[in-house]
Structure 1
Amino acid sequence: MSSRHLMSGAVVVAVSVVALAGCSSSDSGDSGGSSGSPSESVSIESTPAPSGLGLSQKLNCPGGVEKATPGPVTTAPLKVGTLLPATGSLAYLGPPEFAGVKLAVTDINANGGVLGQPVQEITGDSGDTTTDTASATVDRELGSGAQVIVGAASSSVSLKVLDKIATAGAVMFSPANTSDEFTCYKDKGQYFRTAPADILQGQALAQTMAEDGVQRVSLLALNDPYGTGLAEQAQKNLEAAGIPADQIQKIIYDPNAQSFNAEVDQVKNFNPDGVAVIGFDESAKIITRMHEVGIGPTDGKSVYGVDGNMGNALGEAVGGGLLKGMKGTTPLTNTGAEFQARLKEADPKLIDYNYAGESYDATVITALAAAQAKSTNGRSIASQINSVTAGGEKCTAYKQCLDLVNQGKDIDYDGVTGTLDFNEAGEPSIGSYGILEFDGSNKLLEPTRKYVSVAGK
């Protein structure tokens, strides 16, 4: 099936990386994506989008998007709390995200800090939705004076604590939330994210499956805003590609179930030629069971994953070689080998880099917003965040941007994840996705191409 049938929104750009080198497969499959340096060449092919599919050019939020109102000026040191998964179903995402924040704080403090003072980091665990860890962490960090909280990774966890953080006048800045629910959420203008919404990943996932010739599809998705939202977007785009609705099976499962045998049996009985597993660490159990009944990646079935499970941690959680040929999509930008090496210095045990760049950029953006506001008040920081990512003089490093801010200039920070250009909802208007694949050793190969969907502001 022609890929142009799935090109949607304003524009979808296919980017083919032609100079990837110098890194083992265990160092790929991440938000750091291709391991080469930013100077490596890429070929870019733009494809016009047909009308009638995908993103609208403007946000359509009932009542409009809430905006932050600046608070009283304060010059207290900026305190950044982390609400990231050290435990729970997304714990494999924690190390790169923690490392990204830690590295950003180091860079900020090495280049003048914020308002002439070093940034203080307060580390905290988000856990997952089965515990009250996130709420306890937020209480502790707010009580310690945090004006910014970077996290959570899970959309469901963020939704549990967002109101508490916003009401306290602090900034909540997620590096990994992708649920569409946040775009129009009544957040007092205090919530932001560096990860693009799943309305974009739904396009990339569906396009990948369609290009592989899949005609009968099973979507297995965990029951939370991330899973159900991404499954809905994938289904819409598959249907738009010409796959009839009765050829698409959607199964929503409980991620905390002891067994997924019943769901996998439903998939086997449906007999699809492509299966997408939209989940977190429970994906290992699901794929293991799929193999047991003969419908796994190595059994001749096309199996696909998403950002919630496409990491080398999944390969370590299943039998040897079980993932060979499994493909998946994830937000992906070319942060380069140098950035990954610096992350390794922050955490030598890293095996994945998922959302490390987004965590780094979230931290730097808040510091620049505080500098521009000339205040570390959380509401004042929030009022400047969108501004520092779009519309001004381009800059790509904290000191370079800070110097411009101190000169009274409007800035447009393009971070390690590339162009951000936040829309009025406080999220990227550009989503970049990599197509990843596991080899016979359950290791992620280097991505061979990207899709960049440009949404309307």
Structure 2
Amino acid sequence: MSVFTRSRKAAFGGIALAGASALVLAGCAGGDSGGGATSEPVDTRDLTLKIGTILPQTGALAFLGPPEEAGVGLAAADVNAYSETTGLTIDDIVWGDSGDAANNAWQTTSPRLISEGVTAAIGAVSSGVTKLFLDDHVAAGVITFSPANTSAEFTTWDDNGLYWRTAPSDVLQGEVLGNLVAEDGRQNVATIYLNDSYGTGLNQFFTDAFTAAGGTVVASESFNAGDTTFDAQISAVLAEDPDAIVLITFDEVYTIAPALINAGFPGSDLYFVDGNLAQFGESADWPEGASLEGAKGTTPAGPNTPEDFQERLNEWWVGEGNSDLAEFAYANESYDAVVLLALAALAANSTDAADIAGKLQEVSGGTGDGETCTTYEECADIILGGGVADYDGYSGPISFDENGDPTGATIGIFEFDADNMFNRIDL
């Protein structure tokens, strides 16, 4: 196996706030919409790419599993539909459960993906879970490509160039959330957060942004993965009489938010994040009468997902014997992860993990010398013709930096209505 390395250094510059709507991290090197660099075309390719998933089918983030698996499956179908032209086929996907840090389903899935010889594993969602198996994947020469990891720790992880993500670091979401809460006129805010790399990092980035905007965090209470009672945290934050509470949790939100509302705290004064932003109105787990009307939340979102793409995602998912998708969070990022892997394999004319990793920055537009394209077919044609493709996908322009982080990303802002269903408001 060839060896591909890249320098690992933080690259958090270039952040700019656009009002209270969304924060866009714009990379310094973007794609060229005309022409781009070229190389000699390769006449024939006969490539079979094997990928697996390590996404949450169980555990605290299980509600995110269906849209992410749908994104992976639909992307693979789109790649295979063009295989007669490209010579690249994605083999049967090895589906696996990441679970969470409490049930440890990843301990079964990760070794299975390695033993079955996948080139790349899509996942995990939880940053804390990915940290538990990432070194094993690096040692085995497997690409780990997360559609949802946001911990800033991965930017400097010693990963031999084998870790990539289509979701932006929580440095970005924390700044968007902090400025949103401040611009909403909140002055004294409390937080309740999960005590892991995701929760502690996002809590700190939110706190930094909110206090820099003139606000005060009056209480900040943590809990551990697997906890089922939160009375102490709830009592502590309510004792400080905050005018808003930020919840940085996973599915613990189904216990914490109703308890706060039942204690007399207005649901409209709650703020949510990507780990718990769900369509509660459709959930049997959400208690009747607990209203979130007016509450807000943030999550990496990219451009607004086209309705026809959501329909295609749902069609693929239902076609696999599942009920309709209730969520679409991180479906875009999951779809784009698979497309990028396929394009990198085409560009490298190889399914070797190190060879693919060596082309991922290029096909994302991160090197700045490609021709912009927005579908797998369009980008594949550019590569087959000897050019350099710059894929701009459903999650945004992407444009990976040398650390495997997207430098073109957007945090969406959402608000709950009277039915406890959220709608995007930053459009």
Which interval holds the TM-score relative to the shorter structure?
Answer: 0.7 to 0.9
Q: Which residue of 1 aligns with 2:139?
A: 167
Per-residue displacement from partner, 1:252-287 (whole Å, max 9, x unpaired)? Answer: 112322210110000110110010000000011001
Correspondence for 2:294: 325
Q: Does 1:307 align with 2:274?
A: yes
CA contact 1:173–1:362 (8 Å) conserved in 2: yes
Is residue 2:185 matched to residue 1:218?
Answer: no
Q: Which amino acid is 1:342 matched to?
A: R
* Shift, 1:56, TM fit: 12
1:20-31 equivalent positions in 2, closer than 5 A: none
Q: Secondary structure at the match of 2:424?
A: coil
Offset of 1:187 from its aligned partner? 0.8
Residues of 2 paired with 1:402 and 1:383: CA distance? 17
C-alpha change, 1:291 and 1:10, in structure 2 (3 Å) is: closer
Aligned pairs for 1:339-378 (under 5 A) are 339-348=309-318, 349-378=324-353
Query: Per the alignment, in what secondary structure is the counterpart of residue 345 of structure 1?
Result: helix
Partner of 1:437: 415
Identify which of 4, 12, 17 aligns with 1:12.
17
Of 403, 406, 424, the match for 1:447: 424
Distance change in 2, residues 1:271/1:9 (3 Å): farther
Unaligned runs of 5+ in 1: 1-7, 17-43, 48-53, 59-73, 451-457
Deviation for aligned residue 1:167: 1.1
The aligned counterpart of 2:205 is: 233
Q: Residue in 2 aligned with 1:26?
A: none
Question: Shift of the alpha carbon at 1:112?
Answer: 1.6
**Counterpart residue identity of residue 360, structure 1:** Y
| Structure 2 counterpart of 1:137, from 106, 109, 112 | 109
Distance of aligned partners of 1:440 and 1:376 in 2 relative to their CA distance in 1, 3 Å threshold: same
Whether the 8 Å contact between 2:26 and 2:409 is mirrored in structure 1 is: no
**Retained in 2: the 8 A contact 1:255–1:282?**
no
**2-side partners of 1:372 and 1:15: how far apart?**
39
From 178, 184, 208, the equivalent of 1:206 is 178
Secondary structure of the corresponding residue to residue 347 of structure 1: helix
| Equivalent residue for 1:255, pick from 210, 215, 225 | 225
Cα distance in 2 between the residues matched to 1:338 and 1:321: 34
* Superposed displacement of residue 95, structure 1: 0.3
Give the TM-score of the pair, scaled to structure 1: 0.81
CA 1:137 to 1:406, structure 2 compared with 1: closer, same or farther past 3 Å?
same
Deviation for aligned residue 1:13:
2.8
SS at match of 1:153: coil
Tell me the residue number matched to 1:455.
Answer: none
The percentage of aligned residue pairs carrying the same residue is 40
Contact 2:123–2:146 (CA<8 Å) still a contact in 1? yes
> 2: distance between equivalents of 1:340 and 1:156?
29
Structure 2 CA distance for aligned equivalents of residues 205 and 11 of structure 1: 13
Contact 1:288–1:319, Cα closer than 8 Å, also in 2: yes
User: Which segments of structure 1 move beyond 3 Å, counting only runs of 4 or more?
Assistant: 54-58
Structure 1 position 135, deviation (Å)? 2.5
Q: Please, which moves more after superposition, 102-111 or 163-172?
A: 163-172
Number of residue pairs the alignment of both structures matches = 388
- In structure 2, relative to structure 1, the CA distance for the partners of 1:109 and 1:436 (3 Å cut) is same
Q: CA RMSD in A?
A: 2.4
How far apart, in 2, do the equivalents of 1:113 and 1:378 lie? 23
Q: What are the Cα deviations for residues 64-104 of structure 1, in whole angstroms up to 9, with x where unaligned? A: xxxxxxxxxx9662001011000011000000000000000
* Cα distance, 1:314–1:129 mapped onto 2, change above 3 Å: farther
Shift of 1:189: 0.7
Partner of 2:41: none
Aligned equivalents of 2:108, 2:171: Cα separation in 1: 31
Q: Tell me the residue number matched to 2:255.
A: 285
Helix, strand or coil for the counterpart of 1:229? helix
Distance 1:408 1:56, change over 3 A: closer
Query: CA, structure 1 residues 14+110, in 2 after alignment: closer, same or farther (shift >3 Å)?
Result: farther
> Which stretch has the larger CA shift, 105-114 or 357-366?
105-114
Contact 1:115 1:374 in 2 (8 A): no
Question: Aligned partner of 1:198: which letter?
Answer: D
Note the residue ranges of structure 2 that are not aligned, 5 or more in a row.
Answer: 1-12, 30-44, 319-323
Give the distance between the partners of 2:281 and 2:105, measured in 1 at CA.
24
Q: State the match for 1:157 in structure 2.
A: 129
**Is the alpha carbon distance of 1:81 and 1:183 closer, same or farther for their aligned partners in structure 2, counting shifts above 3 Å?**
same
SS at match of 1:183: helix
Q: Which deviations, in whole Å up to 9, do the C-alpha atoms of 1:12-34 show, x marking residues without a partner?
A: 23597xxxxxxxxxxxxxxxxxx
SS at match of 2:239: helix
8 Å CA contact 2:396–2:409 kept in 1: the answer is no
Change (3 A) 1:15 1:283: closer
**Residue 196 of structure 1, aligned match among 153, 162, 168:** 168
| Distance change in 2, residues 1:368/1:56 (3 Å) | closer
Instruction: For residue 313 of structure 1, report the CA deviation from its aligned partner.
Output: 4.7
Which shows bigger deviation, 117-126 or 368-377? Answer: 117-126
Aligned equivalents of 1:356, 1:274: Cα separation in 2:
30
Q: How does 1:26-175 map to 2 (within 5 A)?
A: 77-112=48-83, 116-120=87-91, 121-175=93-147
TM-score by length of 2: 0.86
The secondary structure found in structure 1 opposite 2:57 is coil
* 1:277-323 deviation line (CA, Å, top 9, x unaligned): 0000001100111122111405xxx1100011111157622223422
